[in-house]
Structures are given as C-alpha cells and as structure tokens.
Structure 1
Amino acid sequence: MSSVNPARTFAVRILKQVLDGAYAAPLLDQALNAKISSSDAGLMTHLVYGTLRHAQTLEKALLPLLNKKPQRETWVILLLGAFEKLILETPPHAVVNEYTEIAKKHSPRLGGLVNAVLRKVQLPEETTYSLPDWLLEEYKKAYPEQWEAVVEDLLQPSPLWLWLSDKGVRQLEEEEALVEPGIGQIDKVVLSRSLRKTKAYQKGQAQPINPASYSVIEALGEVMNREVLDLAGGTGIKAAFLAKKGARVTSVDLDPRKAEQGRQNAERLGQKVTFKTADLRSPENLGTYSKVLLDAPCTGSGTLRTHPEIKLRITPEYAQEMSDLQKTLLEESSKFVADGGELVYSVCSVLPQESEEVIVEFLKNHPEFQAQAPDLSVPSVKTAVGTRTVPVNGVDGFFVSRLVKVQ
C-alpha cells in the first residue's frame, strides 16, 4: 500500500469535524502543533479552507455520480478529492490514488467507490459562486454594483492581516516573514512559521485583525483619555486597540472564558483593560459613557473568505434570530450613552436584517439619536444610516453606524 501525504490525512480528519459543527481555525491551529512539515501544514490548510469555500460547487459535481450522499467520512474524502482535481488541478491520477488509499483504510469497498467517483467527477457546466441561493441574492442586494467581484473574492485564500509595531515588522522580517503594506494600519503578511511561535506575537508586537474590523475602532474617533465602554467585546481585541489609542476601556461580554482570553491578550499587548462579565439583555447599571461600542453578535456573513464554514450553516431563520438579538442589545446599550455621546454599532455581516433594519427600527423608537455613516479606511459604500465595507481583496464585510445622542 502506498503511503499517503500526511496533509491529506489531517485534512480529512479536520474537515469531518468541521462538517460535524466545529470551526476550522482552532482545529488547524492544533494540527499545526503536531509534527508536520511546513509544506504539509500549508497544503493541509489550503485543502480544508479551499474545500469549504467551494463546497456548494463540489456538491453539485459529486451528487449526480452517487445514488445518495454517503456517510460523513466518505463524503469528506470525496469533497477533498474533488477540490484537488477540479479546483487545484492536481494531476487526476495522483488525486485518485491518494484519496482511494485513504478510503481503503476504512473499507476496501469505500476505496472502490472513491476511485470510481473521482475518476468521473467534472465541474458543473453552469457558473456557480458556491453560495446558497438565498445568500447569493443577499450579496447582490448589498453590493448591486460590485456583487460579482465580491462573491468571486470569497473563493480566494484569505491573507494574513496583522497589526504590527515597527519593532514587530523588524522581528518578523528577521524570521524570514514577508511584510507588505496593507490597508491603513494593518499589514499583509506571509509567515515562515506559526504566528504564535514568532517573537513579534509573543512579545505583543503583532496582532491579527482584519482591516474592516480595525476600521470599526477608527469609527469611534478620538478616544485619548476618554472612558470607552466596549459591549459584546468578545476576546477584547478592539478593547486592547482602543486602550493602545489612549482610552480607558471597560469591556463587557457574556462569556467569562472570552473575558479571560481578553485579559491575557491585553496583557500580551501591554494594555490595561477592565473586563466584566454580564448578560447585555438585562445588564447591570454600567454608568454612562461618551463613547460606546456595540460590536454585536451576528451571523458572520461578511467573513466567508476567512470562515467559509459559516455559509454551510446560516439560514434566513438564523439571520432573523440574530436580528432580534441585535435589536435587544442595541436597545440596552443605548442606556449607557451620555447626552451628547455616541454609540457605534457594528456587525461583521452584509445582511440588511442585521444592519440597516436594526438601525431604522431603533431610530423610530429613539428620536434622541441620529445615525451617521462614518468614513472608514477600507473600501466601503454608504447607506442612509451607516457604512458597509466592501469585501474584496481579503477585506471582511462589516456594517458600521454611528448613533449620536443629540438631547
């Protein structure tokens, strides 16, 4: 029996867990700590993310060759093999041989099935952007002039975006990383090793963040010596950057584990942030602030290039559930805004029910607030009540609205 490239073996294992509900990024991080060469690690990552990005296209290619969708393990092997053959254009004989050998480890019969299907599989004739039909329509609504470029960009590998200090740039380049100017304060980087193993990361001179996410921080304007309340703050990345800009930040999230991660990350970055745990649907009295950020939980529909597994999971019903939650969180968050202060609402989603519709309903009930569409440092389009970033060239899709309390 021929040996199988370990990258493919790892990819099968990880992709199966992702299709069972896990997220790819932490699983890949764990695998990178295993004894695997850098070239195999790169192939493994490319196989998992690439297969997820093209999943709908691959499914359309495979299903006509099957009587029914096979069990999860076999389906994962077929998806990965089809991705290599059809998208990566790996030599077909190599694809068939490798994935047949993987299947044989489970059952000789499965080896025969995988061999037969991968020999025959071809790309569908119709053009597909590998998105669920309803989600493709939402992207067309969000970007009527640019939708085709946007959805094509979602199929490309995601760049590594890093905030870097000057010292961090030097440290990475000493470790043979390629650092290219990106957008605003965020650089595009190609590493020679895992980020967490670099001196720049360990010494707090590097932090992963998408330029669109960083632009949300910029939407708060001048924060030097200001008290800032960061709501639904998650692991506190934005809170740490606000502190770096001179703000005194209180970050609040429901999950105590995220708060602990936030404390550790802020400490690594050399920043002081106060972390609190609270349910924002019925929060304690946190006082009033002139600057409030609500980076609300959302479907993540604007991050499909970075987290392609999301498009396999979200539904219109789930989007509406998130919209209802966002309306509640925005209502509660507004109570902490001082007169003359402002609340920045953001979501990493392109769906109108999570963006414009949330703001419009809020304004109907709160005439004391006015909505502004902030200028952002990334490609974006403005609407009546906010600004939507354009997810091209690796930028995520965010919606940002500045709500100013005028009386």
Structure 2
Amino acid sequence: MKDMPESLAARTGAILLLAHVLREGRMLGDGASGLDGPAAARALRLAGLVLRHMGRADALLKDKMARQPAAKIRDILRLALVEIFEDGAAPHGVVNDAVAMARMSPRTYKQAGLVNAVLRGLSEDRSAWDALPAPALPAWLRKPLAKAWSRPRLEAIEAAHLTGAPLDLTPKGDIPEDRQIEGAVTLSTGSLRLSGGQVSTLPGFAEGDWWVQDAAAAMPARLLGDVAGLRVLDLCAAPGGKTMQLAAAGAQVTALDISGKRLRRVHANLTRTGLSAEVVEADAFAWQPDAPFDAVLLDAPCTATGTIRRHPDLPHLRESRDVETLTQLQYRLLDRALTFVKPGGRLVFCTCSLLPVEGEHQISAALKRHDGLTVDALDPEAFGLPPEAASAHGLRLLPDLWPQFGGMDGFYMAVLRRPSGDTPLPAA
C-alpha cells in the first residue's frame, strides 16, 4: 500500500481490519492493516466507526440491493456510507476510492460499477440515514438485557453505544497548575473527562500525573475508602488502573495476573507514574500469599459487554456460550479470592458487564454459599453517582447513565465482608 494515496491506503487498511473481525473473529486491535503511522491510526478509527454503525449501513443497503454482494464489496459499501454520513467525508472522494478498492481484486473487479451506482444513489439522501435507529445488539445479549432493564432502557443503552466514549483520566493526585489539561472537566466521581486527544501528547503524561481509565472502571477501588497502610490484593490486575489507584492512595498493593504479557503494561504504567506495587505473575488458583490481606479487589474476567461503546467489535466476537464459561470462572475466582481476605476484611467484586448474571446474581449466590458473609450498603450519591446507580447488593452503572456528560461504561460492583473471628470459608 506504500504507493497509494494516504486516503486510499487507510480505507484499504480499514477493509482488511473489518475482515479480521467479521470473518476471522479477531479483536479489532489485534488485526493488521498493513500500515503504520497516521494511515494505520486512521484505518483503525474507520474500521471501528463502521462496526459501530454497521447495522444502519446494512439497513440502508438492504432496500437498494436485490441480493447480498460479496463480503468485501459489502464492507466497501458500509465503509463508504459511514464515512459520508458519520465522518463528514466528501462523497466524491469516498466513492472514487470505493470503486478503486473494488477494482483491486479480480474477484470483485466486475462489481465496481455496482459500488459506484449504489453509493451515488444513496449519498444524495442524508434524511434516510438520519431516520435510522441505533443498531440493535445481537439477540443473545439483547434478550437478557431487555428482561433485566426494560426495553426502553435497552434502547437507551444501544443509543449510548452509537455515540462512542469520551476520554477519561484518573489523576494520581493534585495536578500542578502548569500541567492542567485544557478542556478537561472534573466529574463528581473524581475522574477527568475530555472529548478526546492524543494521549501521549497531553500535559502530564510523561510526568505520570494520570492514566487513562473510564470513570466507571475507576469506581471499584474507591469503594474501599481510605486504604493508606492497608495490604490490598488487586486480583486480575492488568493493565493496572486499579493497582495505581490503590498505590496512589497509600496501600501496600500486590498486583496479580496470570498473563505475563498483560503484566508488562502494569510494570510500564507503574514506572511512568512513579508508583510502586508488588507485581506477581501467577494462577490465582495455585498461588498462595504469605498472609491474608486487609482487602481484595477482584475485577473478574467477563464478557466485557459494558465496554461496547468503546469496543464496537465485541458484539461480533462474543456468543451466548461465552457467558456460561465466564460465569463459572467468576464463581470460582470469587470463592478463591475470599480465602485471601482476613477475617473482618473486605472484597470488592466487579465486572465490566451489562448482564446481571455476571454481577448481581454472582453476589446473591455467594451470600447463599457462605455463612456469615455480608455485603456493605452502598449509597451511590456518596460516591458522586446518581441515585439510579443503586442496585441489588451494590452499584450498577450502565452506558446511558449521565447522558448529559457523555455516559460511562457498564459496570457492576459490590463490597463483601468476611465475618470476624475464625469462621472458616469452604476451600476454593
């Protein structure tokens, strides 16, 4: 692609990335566009934009085409429509590049005329695009969400996914006056929010004043309150946002994760911010600490459906069978994590999922399994959250919360407390 104009190269790269996600089942960030530098970044952004609006593009195309074209042609058409109607690209240049991409392969060369005709017809009527609703989530996710949160709430969540996500930062402490970030707004939860920007060029990045972390993801560590001097285990710690929060608050943190590759990010983040923690690469089911902890934070592996607004590839990669596998792992990890907590100590359980089976139901089941285990009452307003964030046993955050501020990721979190004394827990 090195001999192509940058616009055509970026669009061609985006088509490759879409194929990686839709036909190879790879995460968007794991795909290779064949580009580097600004063109690679643009290709990634365009592919993500298409995945976010793909349902709308398909609805528009369905009325104009008697039958489905080849997969690559369909992706070219999707990309062109999304660029024109959502990215504000000039239709003439978009259509020309779409035709050029169709002509690149002998398999699709003869469909270049179709691409030209369809796009020139559709690009003239923006009203049809504007009238389309937000794309529906896949059935395996939509059905349980409608049951849990009501259909109007589900539609609000889908609309929130369509708008994407702002950039949230967690400050290490007070940021010096000369490194304040222009345009940043301090949310009531303590996070800084920006409309976007190149992270590494923002004031305070090199100095380690802050790290990127959605406002919702920053809440679980705050549920522990004053942790200065406490021994705290961050279980499933990578990439380290919660580890840094706890370390910055004065805790003696052990960050444990099974993935050495992901832990490299924890080391890098700690180095940049000048914070310290004991970092351990181990399987939680095999590892045993020298002594129990005052508190444990378990951000359990989950479907990550709460992050769809920033990861639009997820609905195309997950399936209903993933839920059962992950809920079983959460069940086992929660029981194992409780064995690391000293009597009277606390465990924060959280998942970035929209599904109650990965949140509220896990806590209800744990309370039934363990005699004497209790859950702390949480007032959302005490943590800067609106009253509607209250949920069974904990806090429930959804993407449509705070629409006036740009929403937040979906998360569930609760604080469990082990009984004092010598009440044993079943082995995990």
TM-score by length of 1: 0.86
The 5 A counterparts of 1:2-401 are 5-6=7-8, 7-19=10-22, 20-25=24-29, 34-36=37-39, 44=43, 46-63=45-62, 65=65, 67-68=67-68, 70-71=70-71, 73-88=72-87, 90=89, 92-107=91-106, 108-119=109-120, 123=129, 127-144=133-150, 146-164=153-171, 166-167=174-175, 170-171=178-179, 173=181, 177-190=182-195, 194-198=198-202, 200-285=204-289, 287-374=291-378, 375=380, 376-379=383-386, 380-392=388-400, 393-401=406-414
What secondary structure sits across from 1:350 in the alignment?
coil
Shift in alpha-carbon separation, 1:171–1:397, aligned structure 2, 3 A: same
Q: Which moved more, 1:288-297 or 1:198-207?
A: 198-207
Q: Which amino acid aligns with 1:95?
A: V
- Contact 1:53 1:130 (8 Å CA) reproduced: no
Q: Which amino acid aligns with 2:112?
A: G
**Aligned residue number for residue 403 of structure 1:** 416
Question: Aligned equivalents of 2:258 and 2:164: distance in 1?
Answer: 32
- Contact 1:289 1:336 (8 Å CA) reproduced: yes
CA displacement 1:322-374 (0-9 Å, x = unmatched): 11110011111111111111110000001011112212222211022112353
Q: CA deviation at 1:114?
A: 2.4
Q: CA deviation at 1:132?
A: 1.3
- Contact 2:54 2:78 (8 Å CA) reproduced: yes
**Aligned residue number for residue 403 of structure 2:** none
Question: Aligned equivalents of 2:303 and 2:121: distance in 1?
Answer: 36
Shift in alpha-carbon separation, 1:317–1:336, aligned structure 2, 3 A: same
Q: CA deviation at 1:74?
A: 3.0
- Contact 2:166 2:193 (8 Å CA) reproduced: yes
Shift in alpha-carbon separation, 1:182–1:383, aligned structure 2, 3 A: closer
Q: CA deviation at 1:309?
A: 0.7
Q: Which amino acid aligns with 1:18?
A: V
Q: Which amino acid aligns with 2:206?
A: Q
Shift in alpha-carbon separation, 1:388–1:191, aligned structure 2, 3 A: closer
- Contact 2:297 2:347 (8 Å CA) reproduced: yes
What secondary structure sits across from 1:287 in the alignment?
coil
CA displacement 1:69-98 (0-9 Å, x = unmatched): 523x33322221132345456554443223
Question: Aligned equivalents of 1:342 and 1:3: distance in 2?
Answer: 57
CA displacement 1:157-177 (0-9 Å, x = unmatched): 32111124554674364xxx5
Q: CA deviation at 1:46?
A: 4.7
Question: Aligned equivalents of 1:26 and 1:200: distance in 2?
Answer: 28
- Contact 1:160 1:188 (8 Å CA) reproduced: yes
Q: CA deviation at 1:143?
A: 3.2
Shift in alpha-carbon separation, 1:131–1:113, aligned structure 2, 3 A: same
Q: Which amino acid aligns with 1:70?
A: A
Shift in alpha-carbon separation, 1:138–1:92, aligned structure 2, 3 A: farther
- Contact 2:218 2:241 (8 Å CA) reproduced: no
Question: Aligned equivalents of 1:172 and 1:114: distance in 2?
Answer: 48
Aligned residues between the structures: 397
Q: Which amino acid aligns with 2:415?
A: R
What secondary structure sits across from 1:100 in the alignment?
helix
Question: Aligned equivalents of 1:129 and 1:373: distance in 2?
Answer: 36
TM-score by length of 2: 0.82
Shift in alpha-carbon separation, 1:25–1:195, aligned structure 2, 3 A: farther
- Contact 1:204 1:270 (8 Å CA) reproduced: yes
What secondary structure sits across from 2:306 in the alignment?
coil
- Contact 2:14 2:33 (8 Å CA) reproduced: no
What secondary structure sits across from 2:253 in the alignment?
strand
Shift in alpha-carbon separation, 1:355–1:167, aligned structure 2, 3 A: closer
Q: Which amino acid aligns with 1:139?
A: L
Q: Which amino acid aligns with 1:5?
A: S
- Contact 2:135 2:158 (8 Å CA) reproduced: yes
What secondary structure sits across from 1:290 in the alignment?
strand
Q: CA deviation at 1:126?
A: 7.1
**Aligned residue number for residue 424 of structure 2:** none
What secondary structure sits across from 1:81 in the alignment?
helix
- Contact 1:56 1:131 (8 Å CA) reproduced: no
Question: Aligned equivalents of 2:146 and 2:370: distance in 1?
Answer: 31
Question: Aligned equivalents of 1:30 and 1:158: distance in 2?
Answer: 26
What secondary structure sits across from 1:155 in the alignment?
helix
**Tell me, which stretches of 5 or more residues in structure 2 are unaligned?**
123-127, 401-405, 421-428
Aligned CA-pair RMSD = 3.1
**Tell me, which stretches of 5 or more residues in structure 1 are unaligned?**
none
Question: Aligned equivalents of 2:220 and 2:167: distance in 1?
Answer: 19
Q: Which moved more, 1:200-209 or 1:4-13?
A: 4-13
Shift in alpha-carbon separation, 1:249–1:285, aligned structure 2, 3 A: closer
